[in-house]
Structure 1
Amino acid sequence: MTLLTFLAFGWDKRLAKNGKRRLAESVLLILTFVGGTFGALIGMTYFRHKFSKKTFIFKLIVVVVVQLAIIFLLKEHLTNQ
């Protein structure tokens, strides 16, 4: 998932540079949510992509916080059994 998300950020950057129709932000965020967090962060850094979009950064932070909350809740649930 990390590799797929990384490649999606690179592909979106390429589309942006060529003035073509881009991937929807929701696609990038969904890929991030379902396991591509590190790929998203590495892709954003490597391709220098989406850093200037404050709304995207906010949404990405929300995705990471939700992921951390899910991990915490699962850990608590599984260790209390």
Structure 2
Amino acid sequence: MRIFITYLVIMNIISFCLMAYDKSQAGKRKRRIPEKRLFGYAACGGALGAWIGMYTWRHKTKHTSFILGMPALLVVNAVLIYWIVKGLQA
């Protein structure tokens, strides 16, 4: 259980930092992080970090795919986390 929680914390920190880095790169007109990668980290457990990062850095907040996609992934993450925790406790 401790490893699972550590994994989730790390994924959310990475997702949050990726949003900050991509915003920074956008401002400098340098190479960006592909949207697939941002969604990939969110789908693998980092949706909360990505969603918080979106609004902290005001990044990708005008893209419909992110406005709808990140909360949807957050719900999927929450359901999967519930099932995994429930399975680990059984």
Q: Normalization by structure 1: what TM-score?
A: 0.75
1:51 partnered with 2:54: no
Q: Is the 8 A contact 2:45 2:77 kept in 1?
A: no
Q: Is the 8 A contact 2:50 2:70 kept in 1?
A: no
**Root-mean-square deviation (Å):** 2.1
Identity of aligned residues (%): 31
1:37 counterpart residue number: 47
1:17 counterpart residue number: 27
Q: 1:67 to 1:14 in 2, by over 3 A?
A: same
CA positional deviation for 1:18: 1.1
- Matches of 1:3 and 1:69, distance apart in 2: 20
Q: 1:64 to 1:56 in 2, by over 3 A?
A: same
- Structure 1: runs of 5+ lacking an equivalent: none
| Per-residue deviation, residues 17-49 of structure 1 (Å, max 9, x unmatched) | 111221111111111122222211221111111
- Structure 2: runs of 5+ lacking an equivalent: 1-9
CA positional deviation for 1:74: 4.1
Q: Normalization by structure 2: what TM-score?
A: 0.69
2:3 counterpart residue number: none
Q: How many residues align?
A: 80
2:5 counterpart residue number: none
